Chain A
Amino acid sequence: MAKNTDLHETRQTVTYTGVAGWIDRRLPVLTGFRAEYITYRMPANLNWLWNFGAILTVVLMVMLATGLFLAIHYTPSAADAFASVEAIDRQVPSGWLLRSIHMTGASLFMAALYIHLFRGLYYGSYKQPRELLWITGLVLLCMVMLTAFAGYVLPWGQMSYWGADVVGKAVGAVPGIGGWLEHFLQGGDAPGDVSLHRLFILHFFMAFAVLGVVVVHVAVLHVAGSGNPKGIEPPAATVPFHPYYSAKDAAGLVLFITVFAVLVFFFPAIVAEPENYRPANPMHTPADIEPEWYFLPFYGILQSVPSKFGGLVVSVGAIGLLFLAPWLDTSPVRSARYRPVYRLGIVGLVVAFVTLGLVGRHHAEGIWMIVGRIATLVYYGHFLLVMPWSTRRERTLPAGVEGTP
């Protein structure tokens, strides 16, 4: 394991022969694949949190495949959407399985995305020279959230309809153009046939757009290379991607797929909302309407702010702040391991995020209103106070840790 700063090894060049060689000389896909996924140098000290990139890639493929086959049976019209989804569950051979995989996959995709994001925040993956990697990742987060919202509307059940309605009203809260924008995006006075058509196309299109941005994300990653838990670069030791990380990614995938399968086959109700198995009814709002769990923290912020537009700004701002992380935190020390103050801020951030999720499940009144406001302040505090302040304090590695920060 020689110390090697060059990620793309050139010593072990392989010359391909025959058909492979003919293609490779004209379009070096084999040489490229070898350089990026076989001999590619990886830090030797990555922990399990670095598994989630590969997991997300595979879940995306599963979502694309199941989504494509579900779209074959789905009818995007207000009159027929609900019945076509019921038919997928009850009549299409294996349709129940494809839909269960797609629904569970959506939840696990967001779960893995949040872990991946946490990994980035904790180990300073957003820092120079990986700012663009961080930003493409956040763009993906926004795109996936939009895709998830659009997908949730498609079954046109009660939660679908009222989810679309609430989001429409939130857009309507934008001062000045809000009312017009809501009417324009919705394609009418209330969510209906036109909205459903648009959201179906949006969902379908975004799925492939996400794939495209993932390619960019991975390409950017392979320029700077993976960070590592110590945050010391270049890392003390590197190993080739194959077999070390191909095997580790595969092992992580097996564990992840096991959890996935257990959810799909034994606990499908965890991700399904019973109320959404009633057809959309614009005349009756369900008693307890709340978004999917992965939107709850942002819904919690929305509820905690005592202003319709203010809530929207603070809620969207919570994601917007993430984009500023590389410039709010410019400490040369990457890893939270060697940054006690920053680490405390991260703990507060995670606690606030989970708390806001709980707040999102309750009506904004009494104690939940107060808890929600405190958690919102803690969330914002990590970015606007802890990041700049700890940048000035935490600039060196502790004694005994070798390497340049």
Chain B
Amino acid sequence: MDSQAAPLPRRDFLTLATTATAAVGVGAFAWPFLDSLRPAGTDVGRLPIDVDVSAMKPGQQIAIVWRGNPVFITRRTPAALAALKQPALAPRLRDAASSAHQQPPYAANWHRSLSPEYGVVVGVCTHLGCVPGYMPDASASIPIENWPGGYACPCHGSKFDLAGRVFKGAPAPYNLPVPPHHMMAPGTLRVGENPPGETFDFGDIVQI
């Protein structure tokens, strides 16, 4: 028999079939190994957290951990709310109107929260992930000129106002994310769950 005329000699076919079977076997065998690296049990870390805010004093901030990240809850003073509404502040901010999807629709307002009294933001700088420091007191020069009160990142100097809106002239590109939250009862804030009827998914925001 002329071996050149045969389209696929028997030996080649056997080699090919054996190699293919072995490759499929090795591939299937690799699955449990890769599967074991899949993060498991994160559902527990993503459950909503109830926070008692009844004892918070005006101007006080508490930090909780949700989804492995710090979440800052602030009780704002009337002076702080007035500072957020200053017309002179908006031009200094990158995204004063919260147009980037960094918050639930019910927090896309001037105070970036459900009710103006309580601020809820994820305390992770949108630049490279450091935790910004809380500097609530207005100052003429510290940390920057005409500081209205807010957050200052220790790593690369990004600044945010008390609603987590980022200042221009610093590296952070987006406002601090706002997690889903609502008041369960007077004095009890639930972080990680939308108010009834809202469908915001925190996984859809631009970035933490």
Give me the interface of A with B, judged by CB distance under 8 Å. 65-66, 69, 72-73, 91-95, 97-98, 101, 250
Contacts and interface: CB of A to CB of B under 8 A. Distances in A.
A101 B30 CA distance: 13
Contacts of A97: 32
A65 B33 CA distance: 8
B36 interface: yes
B33 A93 contact: no
Contacts of A93: 35-36, 38, 40
Contacts of A250: 18, 22
8 contacts: A65-B33, A72-B37, A91-B40, A94-B31, A94-B32, A95-B36, A101-B32, A250-B18
B33 A98 contact: yes
Nearest to A70: B36
Contacts of B35: 93-94
A-side interface mostly: helix
B36 A94 contact: yes
B41 A91 contact: yes
Interface of B: 18, 22, 31-33, 35-38, 40-41
A73 B40 CA distance: 12
A91 B40 CA distance: 7
**Which of A72, A92, A94, A97 counts the most chain B CB atoms within 10 A?**
A94
A69 B35 CA distance: 10
Nearest to B30: A65
A152 B151 CA distance: 53
Contacts of A101: 32
A73 B33 CA distance: 12
A72 B36 contact: yes
B23 to A, nearest CB: 13
B40 A92 contact: yes
A72 B41 CA distance: 16
A95 B18 CA distance: 29
A233 B36 CA distance: 50
Given A69-B33, A72-B36, A91-B40, 5 more contacts: A66-B33, A91-B41, A93-B35, A94-B35, A98-B33
Contacts of B32: 94, 97-98, 101
A101 B35 CA distance: 15
Contacts of B22: 250
**Which of B18, B36, B40 counts the most chain A CB atoms within 10 A?**
B36
Going nearest first, the 10 A-B pairs with the smallest beta carbon separation are A94-B32, A94-B35, A93-B35, A97-B32, A93-B38, A94-B36, A69-B33, A69-B36, A93-B40, A92-B36
Nearest to B11: A243
A200 B36 CA distance: 20
A72 B18 CA distance: 33
A113 to B, nearest CB: 22
A249 B51 CA distance: 64
A114 B35 CA distance: 33
A258 to B, nearest CB: 12
Given A94-B31, A250-B18, A73 B41 contact: no
Contacts of B41: 91
Contacts of A72: 36-37
Nearest to A95: B36
A75 B35 CA distance: 19
B40 A98 contact: no
Nearest to B41: A91
A396 to B, nearest CB: 43
A317 B37 CA distance: 44
